[in-house]
Structure 1
Amino acid sequence: MPLALGTFIVPLIVACAMFMENVDATVIVTSLPALARDLGHDPITLKLAVTSYVIGLGVFIPICGWVADRFGSRTVFRTAIGIFIAGSLLCAASTSLTMFVAARFVQGIGGAMMVPVGRIIIFRSLPKSDFIRAVNYLTVPALLGPVVGPPLGGFITTFLHWRLIFFVNIPIGVLGIWLAGRHIANMHEEHPGRLDLVGFLLSAGGAALFMLGLSLVGSGLVPVGSALAMCVGGVVLLAIYWFHARRVERPVLDLSLLRIPSFNASVAGGSLFRIGLGAVPFLLPLTLQEGLGMTAFASGSITCASAFGSIFMKTIASRALRRYGFRHVLIVNAMLAGASIAACGFFFPDTPRWAILLIVLIGGLFPSLQFTALNSLAYADIPTRDIGRATSVASVIQQLSLGLGVTIAGIVLQISHTLQGHPTIVWSDFWPAFVVVGLFCVASVPVTMRLPAGTGDEIARGTRRAA
């Protein structure tokens, strides 16, 4: 396959999977209030529908690199899309919160293999000088998900029924399976080694217990003591894994890769940033619908504005990184992103629609630039042979961070609502949650400041052709 064609079509195929995943995520959060009423729960409790997906990711992402090396990246990628489609159909058929959470977990199993393996395909197919161009090709179609998802989900929820939103994934997934079979080579390592089964069970069990326990705190579904015990058990298992990983030759999650400064800044510093950004898709539709009284369709029509800001930023991200460098961009941009998130907490019933639209639009600019920089920088100094293991580590931490954002936002919102003593959720309950998650974005700055000057220059120079 010619390099120019490969640089375009391979990211585009992977973007089909990301588009499907992003549409699914955005239509769900737009439909949460209606979905919660049908299932007999309050909208804050429905954060379980978001975190259960992340738990599925946390359980299976650690082995995605090994599975791709063992069975071939194309085979695993196509199978993952099929599992995701099956999970979507189960979501549509759900009649209780338990069933819906289980269906979202199945979707998480598919997503655990789908997007990380897609990244492996991209970064093994292309030279480092084409990484940013490939990431842009990958991300721009994927960003169409947040453009299409909120108004589509809002329209279906308002005028039809929320169950129909899960059928949107079917044709997209089928197209992705077909394109992957035609244009992606079934790349794999000749000798991937033995799977670290003990490490897999420790890391998967620890992540699942911690995330599930934290998401159940304050939900009323289980006693608080039981939820906290789950959190403690998860932390213990993760601590045991930390010691285990230092003693085996090929751990399922190779944490030693975090010693590489560029990878550490992208993953560890980026995780704090993602906690803040992960909460916004959950908080913003609730604010507009439950706080300001908008319909799901009106809410979706506003929240999609951030995606337009993201797409615009992709057109100038390469030039910004080339001119100012990764370190400077990551520091300044994180502070601007945190401020834009906090600003969403101060919407009130009389806030003009144009002002809300403008703030949401501007709020899409900074995360887009940050994610382009973080995703490109992650692999700047990773040897080709370690890309699979690095992808597993990065994907686990990134996805758990996004899930933590939803969980933390839900807890802060619940505390704010309880302290203010309102019988139902009102607009003034939301501002503490937005401020807290905005501060998480700013908290990534000290990690980024430890980056050596000039980090990522090779990749930044590669943007001359991409710009």
Structure 2
Amino acid sequence: MRNPAGMTDNSRLTGLSFGGVYGYGIRRSQSKSNRNPRQRRCARASRRRRQAGRGLDYYAAVIRPSSSSRFRDIFPYSMTPKPAAFPPHRPILIAVIAASAFFMEILDATVIAPAVPQIAESFNTSATAISAGISSYLITVGVFIPASAWMSERFGARAVFAVAIAVFTLASVLCGMSQTLGQFTLARVLQGMGGAMMSPVGRLEVLRRTEKSDLLMAIAYLTWPGLTAFAVGPLLGGFLTTYLSWRWIFYVNVPIGLFGIAMVLTFFERNTGGTHKPFDLRGFLLNGSALGLLILGVETAGHGGRIVLGSIVAAAGLLLGFLALRHGTRHPAPLLSLVPFRMLTFSIGTFSGGGLFRISVGATGFLLPVMFQLAFGLTAFEAGVLVFYFLMGDLAAKAFANTLLRVFGFRPVMVIDGAIVVASGFALILLTPAMPYWLMVAILVASGMVRSIQFSALNSLSFADIPPELMSSASTLGSMLHQINMGFGVTLAALLLNASAGLRAGTGAALTHADFRIALGAMAVLALIATLNYLRLPPDAAADLRGDQ
């Protein structure tokens, strides 16, 4: 049966009702008497299939427009009009869905620190040994971030994002069910794989689906839930650990993850990617192996006292790192392009200056809540409250950090603020259980504020001179280095604590306040070295970001 000439899709119902159906009834009545029983059964089955097809096509066009194309291919002369293509979806809704995943990821990164002593007690090990579970997550995120961009292009953002949330949620359950440190570390590695795919893919989908007029609001919806998790994480972690169990800090991810998966499958566009860009497997393996062996070597030397074995493993990691750098400079399409390092602002912002600063920040975030519990005798919740003040200072400074950079310039602000960061780092050494509570809170808030200004400056400085064609590579490389530096900071903090305790009272000695002071002092020295690197910046560094001509 043909569609009558000149009819639009909207007039098919009329054509079928007065022309097609009438003619079909005449032909059917004329041929019915000539059919044998088998032909009649086939005709009835054919009618049932047509009726079912029309019903399915109506469901697809009216209820599920995004999936109607496959029914139209099977039943081209259906009664329903063709639906519109998948609409450019609500940008705010997409941003909220992505933000729920970011909230879960950032919450997981900040919620664990107050629970470190209790986790160590459950596994019958030291608090410093739990650093392996924290650093392994951060390092895994850094290793898999470059692969996530390729996977999104190859398999589509919808599929990759949904799988990433599912993996992260499953790994959270496994973390909560862990009975040994080895099980916990492996579950954290799996969690890092999911976390690495969530952030870049979700951010890219928001930017791709949002019109420029809605971009500012979409970014706000995308950013603030993550900042909220950043501040709420220590409070929630301390509360759950003190009044329930540390295992619940991972179980809270389950409802958030299930909600995120449902929203992604419902509202994200179906696509299959389809890129033919080859995956740099050799570069991926070299990068991952180098970082893994380096961290394993440091952990082995620090916790077990096996300095020789740890040094050998770390040296093997450095060798593989050299091969990875060599591969990145020679491969025509490397997984990680090193070209952005040619820009001084990017090099200082992510490596020589910003890298050392982030190592210091990562270590401090691990040291403070553990010190408040083991050296000050506070509960996990009380330690979480103090860390909350520290992070609230961080959030408060974001309101005026960019204004300072625009008015005074990047180099002066970074050098002066860096000096204050160093001073606040040494001030943390002065914290004692006998110190007035209000003074302790004031020091923590001030320390958080000056660190926030430094972060804002580094994040903007890193991309000030990056041309548009290198922005994607620079963003991936910067995100990877951020996670790796933060993870290495946790590992270094644990190494310093163990070394201090070992030199003071032998291997396996209990940690004291003096050990934490030594580690915090070393982090202040790292911040000082980072600040000295900022002096290499030209006076007009990142002038374009300030609006200077």
Identity within the alignment, %: 36
CA distance in 1, matches of 2:378, 2:239: 13
| SS of residue matched to 1:46 | helix
Alpha-carbon deviation of 1:126?
7.5
| SS of residue matched to 2:302 | coil
Aligned AA (1:109): M
Aligned equivalent of 1:251: 334
Aligned equivalent of 1:209: 293
Alpha-carbon deviation of 1:389?
2.3
| Structure 2 spans left out of the alignment, 5+ residues | 1-87
CA distance in 2, matches of 1:119, 1:326: 27
Are 2:508 and 1:425 equivalent residues in the alignment?
A: no
Aligned equivalent of 1:450: 536
Are 2:132 and 1:48 equivalent residues in the alignment?
A: yes
The 10-residue stretch of structure 1 (178-187 or 288-297) with the greater mean CA deviation from structure 2: 178-187
Q: Is the 8 A contact 2:155 2:274 kept in 1?
A: no
The 10-residue stretch of structure 1 (98-107 or 125-134) with the greater mean CA deviation from structure 2: 125-134
1:435 to 521, 524, 527: 521
| SS of residue matched to 1:454 | coil
| SS of residue matched to 1:162 | coil
Are 2:312 and 1:226 equivalent residues in the alignment?
A: no
* Aligned-pair Cα RMSD in Å: 3.0
| Structure 1 spans left out of the alignment, 5+ residues | 463-467
Aligned equivalent of 1:296: 380
Aligned equivalent of 1:395: 479
Aligned equivalent of 1:265: 348
CA distance in 2, matches of 1:209, 1:198: 16
Q: Is the 8 A contact 1:26 1:146 kept in 2?
A: yes
Aligned equivalent of 1:59: 143
Structure 1 length as normaliser, TM-score? 0.89
CA distance in 1, matches of 2:300, 2:178: 20
Any idea what the Cα deviations from partners look like across 1:247-286, whole Å, max 9, x if unmatched?
A: 1111111112111233223211211110000012210011
Shift in alpha-carbon separation, 1:385–1:173, aligned structure 2, 3 A: farther
Aligned equivalent of 1:465: none
Q: Is the 8 A contact 2:139 2:483 kept in 1?
A: no
CA distance in 2, matches of 1:315, 1:188: 40
Q: Is the 8 A contact 2:369 2:384 kept in 1?
A: yes
| SS of residue matched to 1:444 | helix
Q: Is the 8 A contact 2:420 2:450 kept in 1?
A: yes
Any idea what the Cα deviations from partners look like across 1:211-234, whole Å, max 9, x if unmatched?
A: 1221222212x8332222211111
Q: Is the 8 A contact 1:69 1:187 kept in 2?
A: no
Shift in alpha-carbon separation, 1:115–1:328, aligned structure 2, 3 A: farther
| SS of residue matched to 1:362 | helix
Aligned AA (2:317): G
Aligned AA (1:432): I
Aligned equivalent of 1:375: 459
Q: Is the 8 A contact 2:289 2:317 kept in 1?
A: yes
Q: Is the 8 A contact 1:87 1:106 kept in 2?
A: yes
1:80 to 139, 160, 164: 164
Alpha-carbon deviation of 1:68?
2.6
CA distance in 1, matches of 2:98, 2:178: 28
Alpha-carbon deviation of 1:20?
1.4
Alpha-carbon deviation of 1:365?
0.8
Q: Is the 8 A contact 2:158 2:264 kept in 1?
A: yes
Shift in alpha-carbon separation, 1:448–1:74, aligned structure 2, 3 A: farther
Q: Is the 8 A contact 1:338 1:439 kept in 2?
A: yes
CA distance in 2, matches of 1:257, 1:322: 24
Alpha-carbon deviation of 1:194?
1.3
Q: Is the 8 A contact 2:175 2:250 kept in 1?
A: yes
CA distance in 2, matches of 1:387, 1:376: 13
| SS of residue matched to 1:246 | helix
The 10-residue stretch of structure 1 (32-41 or 328-337) with the greater mean CA deviation from structure 2: 328-337
| SS of residue matched to 2:435 | coil
1:158 to 231, 235, 242: 242
Shift in alpha-carbon separation, 1:175–1:27, aligned structure 2, 3 A: same
Alpha-carbon deviation of 1:151?
1.9
CA distance in 1, matches of 2:267, 2:415: 38
Alpha-carbon deviation of 1:23?
1.6
Aligned equivalent of 2:20: none
Shift in alpha-carbon separation, 1:310–1:27, aligned structure 2, 3 A: same
Aligned AA (2:311): L
CA distance in 1, matches of 2:302, 2:437: 33
Alpha-carbon deviation of 1:74?
4.4
| SS of residue matched to 1:351 | coil
The 10-residue stretch of structure 1 (156-165 or 341-350) with the greater mean CA deviation from structure 2: 341-350
Aligned equivalent of 1:241: 324
Are 2:365 and 1:281 equivalent residues in the alignment?
A: yes
Alpha-carbon deviation of 1:147?
2.2
Matches within 5 A, 1:9-20: 13-20=97-104
Aligned equivalent of 2:178: 94
Aligned equivalent of 1:167: 251
Alpha-carbon deviation of 1:81?
2.0
Q: Is the 8 A contact 1:266 1:374 kept in 2?
A: yes
Aligned pairs, number: 459
Aligned equivalent of 2:83: none
Shift in alpha-carbon separation, 1:59–1:329, aligned structure 2, 3 A: same
Alpha-carbon deviation of 1:191?
4.9
Aligned equivalent of 1:24: 108
CA distance in 1, matches of 2:367, 2:524: 12
